Copies of this chain bind each other. A is one copy, B any other.
Amino acid sequence: MKIVSTIPEMRTSSREARSRAARIGLVPTMGALHEGHLSLVRAACSQSDLVVASIFVNPTQFGPNEDYARYPRNLKEDCALLEREGVDIVFAPPVEEMYPAGPDTTWVVVEAMSNRLCGRSRPGHFRGVTTVVSKLFHIVEPDLAFFGQKDAAQVAIIRRMVRDLNMPVRIEVCPIVREADGLALSSRNAYLDQDQRKAALTLYRSLHRARERFDQGERETTTLIAAANTEFVSAPGVRLDYFEIVDPDTLEPEPMIRKQALAAVAAFVGSTRLIDNILLGP
């Protein structure tokens, strides 16, 4: 496994692979890898000839009061995990390599969707994501790129960006990986103490409650959301950010579920912001 930290070196490796018609799969990550990331890597390995995993904690997608500085970083362990999975190249550029002149002035923005779900509570977050993903796509030039369903809004927004800008890459989405009790894996779970770890289950329980009502035939989203919200009433140390039911492609709120809908939740457990979601319907 090669560890690459400069853009020219990454580009050379990609171009070399491309010249021998190798299919390139990219797994963009911010490191602090867990089984969720590794499931993406496994999907990439099974569908690509050259697997690139990028590790880059992108400053432009963090708000001024968010956890950029303390976001967990452990390149060495991450590389050991990726090597074991059969990754060919880890692309781990320093910040100065990606933003040599300070923050860029060019942004890729999916206007209609960037203020939905997490975008509402994290202004500027999604334009940071779409911009850095564009940069990674232009540097690595992958045929396939793998994202987790865990950030459902990110997935919808990136799919839309790729379609609108005619980017020559196919987006593959892998299911959420959960702990035995249902908690969605997240690098930010590392911030939780024992009590918070228990309280964090509130997100999953709220989704589960909406699903129960949906399975009983309820289709009005206000009713489903009200049912989900009850979980947060008696959850000490947990503060709901949003619980929404939206169209999974457009992220538009849906008053009535016709076919499929995305139920998405975000909440603070202590000062840690966690997200989770499920699809309702087929």
Contact = CB atoms under 8 A, between A and B. Distances in A.
Interface stretch (A37-45, A109-117, A180-188, A192-200): A109-117
A165 B111 contact: no
A105 B164 contact: yes
Nearest to A161: B106
A244 B28 CA distance: 43
Given A19-B21, A138-B166, A168-B141, A160 B105 contact: yes
A1 interface: no
Contact of A106 (B106, B138, B160): B160
A162 to B, nearest CB: 9
A139 interface: yes
A11 B113 contact: no
Contacts of A11: 168
A167 interface: yes
A7 B164 CA distance: 12
Interface in A203-238: none
B164 A106 contact: yes
A71 interface: no
A110 B113 CA distance: 19
Contacts of A109: 106-107, 109
Contacts of A168: 11, 138-139, 141
A9 B160 CA distance: 22
Contacts of A160: 105-106
Contacts of A161: 106
A22 interface: no
Instruction: Report which residue of A18, A106, A109 has the largest number of chain B beta carbons within 10 angstroms of its beta carbon.
Output: A106
B165 A134 contact: yes
Interface in A105-136: 105-113, 130-131, 134-135
A152 to B, nearest CB: 18
A11 to B, nearest CB: 7
Contacts of A165: 104, 106, 108, 131, 134-135, 138
Contact of A139 (B18, B110, B135, B166): B166
15 contacts: A7-B166, A11-B168, A104-B164, A104-B165, A105-B111, A105-B113, A106-B108, A106-B109, A106-B111, A106-B164, A106-B165, A107-B108, A107-B111, A108-B165, A131-B165
